[in-house]
Structures are given as C-alpha cells and as structure tokens.
Structure 1
C-alpha cells in the first residue's frame, strides 16, 4: 500500500554521479565526518519534551493511518538539503511517512538514505547561474565529490534565526519553483501537493481531512501567512499546499519566464516568498490556514497566542515546525495512541496535545529548564535602562525580582496576566505567553540513546516555573469556548 522508496522519477540527463574521493583524502574525510557527526549529537538527542511517564504513549504494533479516499490523490513533497538530510530524514521514515501513500524527496544532491531515493531538484538549473553565483559553490562540490565535499561548518544553521552564511541555506531559495514543476512531472494527476521541510511534523490524519474540505478542481494555495515587504506568502517551514490547478498555473508561468524568475530569485533571500510572488502573479492568492499550520515546535509554541482573531485551542493542528527528533517521536507516539483510544471522537485538536502532552510538564518550579519566557526582564542592566520615573513605578516585588527564583515568582504573581517566569542568577523574566520550553542538561549527562553527551552546561543555569492556578483558569476558559457549540475546528 505504501510507497517507501521513490525511484520512479527519471534521472535528469544532466545528472553526474559523484566521483569517489582520492585515496590520500580518505583519512582526512573520516576525521571530518566524525567531528561533524559528534557536533550534531545535540540536535539528535536533545530532549525538549521528556516524558515523565514513558509508558503513557507506548507505540503498539502497526500504525493508525487515515483511510479516506482522498489520500491516494495527495503527493507529499519533502524538501531538504545535503547538509541536514542524514540528521533529519530518518525520523520521517520511522513515523509520519509510514502513513503517507505517496511522497517524493527533493534535495540539492541525489542519493539514497535508509533505502529512500532523494532527488536533486537543482539538476536543471541554468548553467550560467552555476558559474556566476558563489552560492552554488556548495552545489558544485556536491555534484563533484558527493558528501566528501561537505565541510564542518556547512552543517550548522538555517534561516534568518540561524547561520545565514550556511551555504546549504543559501541554496534553498532556488528549490521552490523547480520542485513544484518536478512534483507535477512526478504526479501530473495528483489533486493536491503538500510541501514540507525536513523538520516539519505533519498531523497526517488532520492534513487529509482538511484538504477534503476544499474543491481541488479550483486553484488553491493554503499556507501560514508571512510577509516580506508587501509580498504575502506561505511560510515554507510551516508547510503549504497547492491544488493541481494552482501548481500547474505557476509551473507553466515559471517555464515560460525562467530568465525573469532567475533574476528575481537571485535578488531575494527567501524561496517561499519567491514562490508566493509567482503564484500571486498568476492570480492565485494565498488562503490563510493559520492556526492549522504552525511556525513553531511544541517546545516554542505560545499556547496563549491569538493571531488574526484566532486562538489555536479549539482548532485541529496540521503542522509544527523546527521539530527535533525527540519531539517527532514523542508527538508520533502520542498521536497514534490518541487515535487508538478515540477512534470516533473526531479530529485531534490543539487542546488535546496541550492537556495530555504539554500540561503535565508545567511544574510550579522546574530546575535545569528554560521555558522561553519572553516579556519583562528584571536585571541590573534592565533597571539601569529605565528612567527614574519608571523605576519608581515598579512594585516592591518587581524591584527584587532579580534576586532569586522565589522573588522572580513573586513578581510574576503580582502581575495579573503573568503566567510563567524563568530565572538565572541576577536575571528574572516574566511572561504572559504560555510555552513549554526545553530541558537544560548539566555537563556529563547522557540524553537519549547511547553515550551522546548533551551541550555544555550554561554558565548561568536557568530555572523556570508557571503559575499553576492561572494555567488551570486559562484551560478552563478556553475549554468553555470549545464546548459552546460555536467554536470552529477548521478554517475553510
């Protein structure tokens, strides 16, 4: 039933098999590879959502997968790059893709990973661009030497919040328009194309049900809203979906005006924005699918957020972004168990994930934990930046908040909307955003499997806490809104 290995796509004529590295370089390559693999251990084995009851969501034999007729008409397109593929792809094969009927993986290098074919989506790029643009140096190395061409520093960072100098990230913007075209060639009669990244988690049951609510004969572009200047587009990391007519319109337009779009892509930095602009130019506007599509992970998501008049709580989640391997596995086990226990309950909602998976982690005080409190800072530096008048308006609890975890908690409790706080020596943060955050492990501890060491202990360890009574009140109020009969589960 499931297509696990994608090998049917015709190999591009311009494809050249990577040459084997020269024998004298093998020892050096082995050393570099070892350094790189140990350097990514923190990503692989960090445990941002540790289970306090590991057996709670144990995975039994067989996966619970969607049976709707629509699934056979969906192609999932997973976009990645050589600098991250070995780290991020395997968990997809072990979890979500077990339930996906058909998928294809596009990258900047053709290879096979765990028996799954990965296609080079840049193989037909204009050769003038290859010769003229320094951002294609990594790509040329990959085509010549394969993974032997990867250097230590290319493995790190992605996007504006990471290392923008990562050569792999610079290549990424060139993949968007070609991957839509290649996806159409691969499955010309698919009704829907779902595009996700290597660290995007899909709640596949909800994805399938959501797409069934739209007429795939119409040109649809569903995404999480994002702007660069005045260009609206669907954020790539949150995932976006194109109906066949939409994909065909933008693919035809790109093929007819490649030189124009090469020039535009060259001048911009975000490929998802380039694709959004091209779709707009052919008359396909983006449908705002928030909060189904999320730009944050379980650890970083603000459960108290409200955007464009929508709070996630009652809605059905479809994607999470920036998901670590442990988060993938934890959410997959939870999702599978939830569907086994609730076969007729309806779609999984954000509130189900929060109440069963996140809330048990929210302790009044938690050491070696950073709950990502973002709001008001209380520290010597912050006090110095305040005017004398502003300092005089601070409550006694706020003036002492920087002195200890207990005083930081007292400062949070003194503010009616504050729901969580974090403390490091001399610095207190209070916030009305509700986030889980992640563990901060001490030196020498082991995380996950084997003897992989966690990241070094921070010089100033962080402790965190939540105001339990306010969390309970928040949950109660939102549950009432969901159960009122007026709450929406889907944005259509």
Structure 2
C-alpha cells in the first residue's frame, strides 16, 4: 500500500491484500489529524466509511490483460477479496518478496497514482506518499516541509539505490511538490507505453518513479534522518548518522501495537511539550524505547547482530582463533549469564541475546519485539531464523516461553542516555533543508 498524503490533504494507495489489516489503525490515529485525504488501491471499495479508489483504472487494458503481474488485480475484479486464497493474501514470504503477487502488482502503482493524485487535488502544494506500515509524524512533516519552497520542483526521499538508479524508498515515505508532480504527470502522458514497458522489466515501482523523476530533470533531496526505513523498535539507535536532535517524519514496518504506542507518545508529547517544540529522536527514545529495556527479557528478540558464540561457530574457528578466544567466550553459549559476561567483557557491547546454546553480542542498539513461539518469525537484523535445526526438539513445555532471551547492559544504556541529554539539552529540533555539495545529507 502507499498512503499518499497531500498537504493539507492526504491521499493514499493500499493493496487489497493489506487493506483490512493496515488501514483501520490509520483511521484511528494519524488520519484523525488530517483534514482531507484520498486512498488509492488495486481494488475499489469502501472500508469503515472511507472510499478506496482503483489506481489501475487508467492503465492500458492490453497491459492489464496480458501481463501476469496483473493476475491478482484481475482476480480481484472478477471475484473480490473473498476469492483470494491464503497464499495470495499473504504471499509466499515477506512483504518485499519478489514472488509475492501483491508485490508484483505494487510496482505498477507508482506512476498512475502520481497522475491521479494530481488530477484529484491539482491545487495542492505538497504530496506526501507513505505506505500501509509507515507511521507519519504529521506535526514534524509539516514543520520540515515549511522549510522548502513549494513553487519549486522538489523530490524528497530516503535514499536507496538499485544499480545506478537513486530513488526515494516508498516505505520510508517520499514527497513531491506540485511542480514536480506536474513534470512527472506530463512525462507519463507523453511516454506511457515506454514507461510501462520499462516497468514490466523491473521489480520496484519506487525505483521506476525515481528514474522518471530524474529523467525530467529533478534530483532527489536526501531526506534521511527525517525519513526512516525502520520502526523505532527495529532501528539501530547506535547509528551515529541518525542525528538524535533531528525530528523524525516517518517510520516504516510498524505493526498495530507500535502504531498505538507511537500515537500515545505523540498525544502525551503535545500535552507536555515546551512551546514551539517538536518531538526528536532523543525524545522518542526516552519516551518509547528506554522504559522497555531490561537487564533481561524472556521470550524477546532484541535482534542482536554481531559476534556469535555457539558450537557451530566454534567448530569453524582456526587454531589461532580458538587460541585467541577468551574463557568468557567459550562459556558464552552455556547460559544467559555466560552470554552477559561475554558482552560485559567488550567495552562497546550494549546488548546480547541467548537462545539454547547460541549467544550473540552486539554493538548495535535495538529494542526488538516479543518472540511468542520458536521460529515464529525471522530476525530482520540477522536475516536468519531464530530456531536453527534441532532447537525445536530441545524445547520443552517448561522452557518454551523463554526459548530466546534478550539482555541490555543497563549501565551502558544510561551512559547512552547521558550523552543524548548532553547533545540535545540546549537545542530544539534540527531540520535538514540544505543540500550538501555531494548531494548527500
């Protein structure tokens, strides 16, 4: 899905396979702040009184009827959402899996939705596109955009490359000014067949749009740190480039609980904030992340990614590597306490995880998420299943609730908080509104 926000309006695009799962939380939270919005989808219908417009109704019929990417769309038109089977609804992998039917169709949405959005709201100054699992910090987005001239062609995005093509990542949200929208729409009307042929050979619609925007002479403005590709629970808070005093405008990959948590934080912030203040990364860390950190959390995956201690890893060590391994390292996979000791021995280790003979220590700093059952999901950071072969058999009813345990070095966490306080104590929110000579921010 892509929610397209028009300031002071708010249009959007969402896939039918995601709409019922992702849209309701938007209607209960951020969209309550936005006076007008439009939602585009691959299936026209109403959800809780809100209309979803068919984004493909102007795509060439030959493309829709002949390209296999439109199989999902054609099935929806013929049988509705009720006609989709489980595999089609949820795909065969993650939301970004290239063999997911919804993902195949998604790439075709970007160009027509720009054209349709402009036709729906031709007088809007700004168009902000987000996706169904993107959280929009509306007050920060408005303040950030006030630092740009909307009469000029602007394309603001979280930088990403596919090959040599630089584009704004769709899930992180991207912004087009009205003049930029007009240029893209004109290009679409003049070279529709050429663009559709190009789209057919690619896999990411946000990349296709980024290329067309470059073709019409508009460079992308690098919007990181304001635009984020991760959620507050999965992002690495130890990334120096993040800029703790900056004000985030978007987060990505949020579930319903995370939406509700951020929304509650924002509402409290609005009640307590000093006049003219905007929530920064520093404030969100202190209000959302810090209260949830513990010396130990059972059944929790903090996505620790770094040095792994396990029999498997030990077996691959060279003789020199085995000799260099400390006694704490050898004992790290034996217990949660042993894993903690291995982390404590490293001055830059701030968190660790332990799971049945596997210890991972990390200099990255994440909250992570609850792990309700073995191998229920995969760790995005480690890109591997939490339950290696054989672990399932070793889990009994007495310890199944703690098959993975997370820990943080809380003294180092508090030192981190002190550094946050020192770096932002006398500053308001900082904003990125000038391009460096390299084009990077």
Contiguous gaps of at least 5 residues in structure 1: 1-70, 444-455
Give the equivalent residue in structure 2 for 1:192: 126
Give the equivalent residue in structure 1 for 2:361: 430
CA contact (8 A) 1:159 1:169 kept: no
Give the equivalent residue in structure 1 for 2:172: 238
**Quick check: 381-390 or 406-415, which moved more?**
381-390
Pick from 4, 20, 24: which aligns with 1:86?
A: 20
Shift of 1:168: 1.0
Shift of 1:161: 6.5
Pick from 258, 270, 276: which aligns with 2:192?
A: 258
* Deviations 1:17-74, CA, capped at 9 Å, x for gaps: xxxxxxxxxxxxxxxxxxxxxxxxxxxxxxxxxxxxxxxxxxxxxxxxxxxxxx9943
Mapped to 1, the partners of 2:132 and 2:6 lie a distance apart of 22
Give the equivalent residue in structure 2 for 1:329: 260
Shift of 1:162: 4.7
Give the equivalent residue in structure 1 for 2:296: 365
Q: Residues 105 and 297 of structure 1: is their aligned pair in 2 closer, same or farther, counting only changes over 3 Å? A: same
Alignment of 1:201-350 (within 5 A): 201-306=135-240, 310-342=241-273, 344=275, 346-350=277-281
Pick from 163, 172, 180: which aligns with 2:106?
A: 172
Give the equivalent residue in structure 1 for 2:382: none
SS in 2 for 1:89: helix
**Equivalenced residues, count:** 405
* Deviations 1:168-194, CA, capped at 9 Å, x for gaps: 111000000100000000000100001
* Deviations 1:248-282, CA, capped at 9 Å, x for gaps: 11111111001111111001100000000000011
* Deviations 1:268-300, CA, capped at 9 Å, x for gaps: 100000000000011111111101111111221
Give the equivalent residue in structure 2 for 1:29: none
Mapped to 2, the partners of 1:396 and 1:155 lie a distance apart of 50
Mapped to 1, the partners of 2:104 and 2:247 lie a distance apart of 33
Mapped to 1, the partners of 2:215 and 2:6 lie a distance apart of 30
Give the equivalent residue in structure 2 for 1:129: 63
Q: Residues 196 and 168 of structure 1: is their aligned pair in 2 closer, same or farther, counting only changes over 3 Å? A: same
SS in 1 for 2:40: strand
The structure, 1 or 2, with the larger RCO (C-alpha pairs under 8 Å, 6+ apart) is 1
Give the equivalent residue in structure 2 for 1:421: 352
Shift of 1:133: 1.4
Give the equivalent residue in structure 1 for 2:379: none
CA contact (8 A) 1:223 1:234 kept: yes
- Note if 1:113 corresponds to 2:47: yes
Shift of 1:384: 1.7
Give the equivalent residue in structure 2 for 1:490: 431
**Quick check: 78-87 or 392-401, which moved more?**
392-401
SS in 2 for 1:117: strand
Mapped to 2, the partners of 1:74 and 1:272 lie a distance apart of 23
Shift of 1:117: 0.2
SS in 2 for 1:364: coil
Mapped to 2, the partners of 1:272 and 1:265 lie a distance apart of 10
Shift of 1:464: 0.5
CA contact (8 A) 1:77 1:196 kept: no
Give the equivalent residue in structure 2 for 1:475: 417
Q: Residues 97 and 167 of structure 1: is their aligned pair in 2 closer, same or farther, counting only changes over 3 Å? A: same
Give the equivalent residue in structure 1 for 2:323: 392
Mapped to 1, the partners of 2:221 and 2:345 lie a distance apart of 41
Could you state the TM-score of these two structures normalised by the residue count of structure 1? 0.79
Shift of 1:157: 4.5
CA contact (8 A) 2:91 2:101 kept: no
CA contact (8 A) 1:108 1:122 kept: yes
Shift of 1:441: 2.8
Give the equivalent residue in structure 2 for 1:12: none
* Deviations 1:283-320, CA, capped at 9 Å, x for gaps: 111111101111111221111113xxx32311101111
Contiguous gaps of at least 5 residues in structure 2: 375-386, 396-402, 434-441
Could you state the TM-score of these two structures normalised by the residue count of structure 2? 0.88
CA contact (8 A) 2:353 2:359 kept: yes
